Amino acid sequence: MIKKRNILTVLVFACFLLFSRSVLAETVALPLSLDSQLLRSMIIKAAYTDEGRTAVLAGHRGGCKSIVLSEPRYVIRDNSLVFETRVFIQAGFSIGETCILPTSWEGYVALTQVPVIDDRWVLSFRTIESEVYNQDHEPARVMGFFWNLIKSHVFEYLSQITINLAPPVEDLRLFTRDVFPAALQENARRILDSFRPGKVETREESITVEILAEVGQEEREGKSDEEVLEQEEVDRFITLWETWDAYFVQMITALPREKLSAGERELILDVLLDARHGFEDELLESGGKTDFVRKQFIEAWGRLSPIFRKRMSDDPARPVLDYLAFFTASDALVALDKLGPGLGIEISRNGLIHLARLISSKDITDLPYAFVVDEDLRSILGLGDPLPLTEPSFDGESIEIAPEEFKPEEKEWLLHVKGFFIATAWAGTDPKQAFRDRITPWLVPKGDVMAYLNRVKLLLNEASTKVFSKTDLDRGLSEFYNLLVLSTAWQETCFRQFVIERGKATYLRSYNHTSVGIMQINERVWRGIYDLNHLRWDIVYNATAGCEILSLYLKKYGLPDTEKTGSGKPPDHETLARSVYAVYSGGPGHLRKWKDALAKGRPGVIDKLFLEKYRWVCSSQWEQIGGCL
């Protein structure tokens, strides 16, 4: 009796464990979304494969007997899917090459459909209602002969159209596996093995197929993703973020740039700058958190996904199934992230490479973090051609300078200033000596700093005039813009490109080693947009880059922000200058912080210092330069 009772107890306990596991499991729906534009491209790729994106159901185009479908399109109306296609039918009797008594009908067939997904991930469309329209899109009555052809050929052909969604689902499996760290691969396997089709919903502008997955409670228990990294993990954090940044550039340069609107380019630039400035802030404030890259990925995708769906899904000639896999994987990461930090997902290098391959026409094997100018990136962002490189640049960290080289003659520095704005030849047999000669005028002398300041002012005036002439800014802002450039250079570096350390000249770096040169161009933020070595060692290149950035921020943030006041008055130049500098010093996200501080009457120290420099420049108080030189 005791043995039977023990056996019963064990069975009950086992059932309890199984029941507990099933209760604790949570069904998660990952979205696979097809908007009407992507759906149209996929239907053309699957069913309109004849010349001119048509489907010839009988005869041949232009023949005496033919049925030709063209111009397919989807619209989603009142949460219903409506498929429409143009139909051309011609019937006659052929005698040799002559068509006797040809008669034809041309119009449109519209089908209200219900999308259906099966267990093999094949999407089909069940027609519940049909309409026929004439060429003017008015309801039409079709004579019996043509109506019979529409029913027997057109409806039958359209009812057989299917889309195989198994490839993008398999891509999602591969990507999802990569976002789980090695220690959680068993958890990943359980989730991936549970993938199955769920409901298909038609709403707003898309069809959404649910990819159902089971996530157990044990996968939800883990350390908080807000945990600060240990010191030894910081390098890995930086390396992963650099891979993410390289992927981000690869992602946005895959967009068809000829289709992008000015507003879309501006949004892409916003997101890129926010991500890069955000990384700098994160690294300085906490050294990095385990969830940072994932959060940046999700935020960037949330802001940019409408652009990708709109611009990458309208061309059937492109690999639309790969694009669908890319959209689905990105959407799935957002859905998984909502489950909380305990799931343990991460953005991995392999996962980013996998996504890059889906959207790139290049053979992606890695995502290098390189500091070369990327013309595709500049084009996508609407920044135009790269800055010209008129001189070879030095690629070292420092160069020895003799004491006598601190006293350039006036003729020499004037030639150097003018030479930077016209193509000049590399002179001298010793490249290092030639380079020393080039940077000597821009070393701050121990004596008369006003002569040095005049050289730099002339250089900055030349650079700002050249950059401003290429913008579409109001010509009346020219003087203000020049003052803004001078004030920024004063605040950022006290007009210095180089400093002397232990008898060697080196480029000026910011205290946190992120920004370089007279205009303190942040190397990570502007990676791929400007040349790294020229930013460091070419004062005019650095000054011109700073002028470009200031003109961009003036147009994109400063002027629109001051116009929002609605007062109808010209913007106050002091406030305008401070708002532009707020973005210049901290990125687009810093503008709101600056405005909030200003509204509370508590401007920051940096803002106060910049305003001081701006007022000195406006009133020509150049003698104040002694405070920093």
Task: Judge if 190 and 313 occupy the same domain.
Answer: yes
The answer as to whether 496 is a domain residue is yes
Torsion, Cα of 442, 446, 449, 453 (10° steps):
10
Mean pLDDT (whole number) for 178-185: 80
Task: Judge if 255 and 227 occupy the same domain.
Answer: yes
Sign of the dihedral through C-alpha 528, 529, 532, 534: positive
How many structural domains comprise the chain?
3
Distance in angstroms (rounded) separating the CA atoms of residues 613 and 488 = 8
The answer as to whether 341 is a domain residue is yes
Closest CA to 125 of 66, 30, 47: 47
Interhelix angle 292-312/36-47, nearest 10 degrees: 60
Domain boundary among 380, 411, 446: 380
Per-residue pLDDT tens over the stretch 355-395: 999 988 778 888 999 999 999 999 999 998 999 987 777 88
Beta strands in 298-456 (DSSP E): 399-400
Task: Judge if 617 and 491 occupy the same domain.
Answer: yes
Displacement of CA 306 from its chain's centroid (Å) = 11
Q: How far apart are the two ends of the chain, measured CA to CA in Å? A: 98
Task: Judge if 439 and 511 occupy the same domain.
Answer: yes
Closest CA to 598 of 589, 607, 610: 607
- Which residues, in sequence order, are CB contacts of 617 under 8 Å at separation 6+? 483, 486, 487, 490
Distance in angstroms (rounded) separating the CA atoms of residues 449 and 549 = 27
3-state secondary structure of 369: coil
User: What is the 3-state secondary structure of 525-536?
Assistant: CCECCECHHHHH
Other Cβ atoms closer than 10 A to 153: 16
Task: Judge if 427 and 500 occupy the same domain.
Answer: yes
Instruction: Tell whether the model's pLDDT for residue 532 goes beyond 90.
Output: yes
Task: Judge if 364 and 446 occupy the same domain.
Answer: no
Q: What is the DSSP letter of 397?
A: S
Instruction: Tell whether the model's pLDDT for residue 116 goes beyond 70.
Output: yes
Task: Judge if 319 and 347 occupy the same domain.
Answer: yes
Exposure on the CB side of residue 73, measured as CA atoms within 13 A: 5
3-state secondary structure of 80: strand
Per-residue pLDDT tens over the stretch 470-526: 999 999 999 999 999 999 999 999 999 999 988 899 999 998 889 999 999 999 999
Instruction: Tell whether the model's pLDDT for residue 141 goes beyond 50.
Output: yes
User: Which pLDDT score, from 0 to 100, does residue 236 have?
Assistant: 86
Task: Judge if 83 and 178 occupy the same domain.
Answer: no
Q: Which domain holds residue 302?
A: 166-195+221-380
User: Which pLDDT score, from 0 to 100, does residue 394 have?
Assistant: 81
Identify the burial level of 41 via C-beta atoms within 10 angstroms of its C-beta, where 0-12 means exposed, 13-18 middle and 19 or more buried: buried
Task: Judge if 157 and 176 occupy the same domain.
Answer: no
CATH number at residue 150: 3.15.10
Task: Judge if 497 and 463 occupy the same domain.
Answer: yes
Per-residue pLDDT tens over the stretch 589-601: 888 899 999 888 8
User: Which pLDDT score, from 0 to 100, does residue 407 have?
Assistant: 55
Structure tokens of 296?
A: 């940046």
- CA-based angle 152:126:107, to the nearest 5? 50
Helix (H) or strand (E) holding 505: strand 504-507
**How do beta strands 98-117 and 515-516 pair?**
unpaired
Confirm if 113 and 74 have CB atoms less than 8 A apart.
Answer: no
The answer as to whether 14 is a domain residue is no
User: Which pLDDT score, from 0 to 100, does residue 229 have?
Assistant: 61
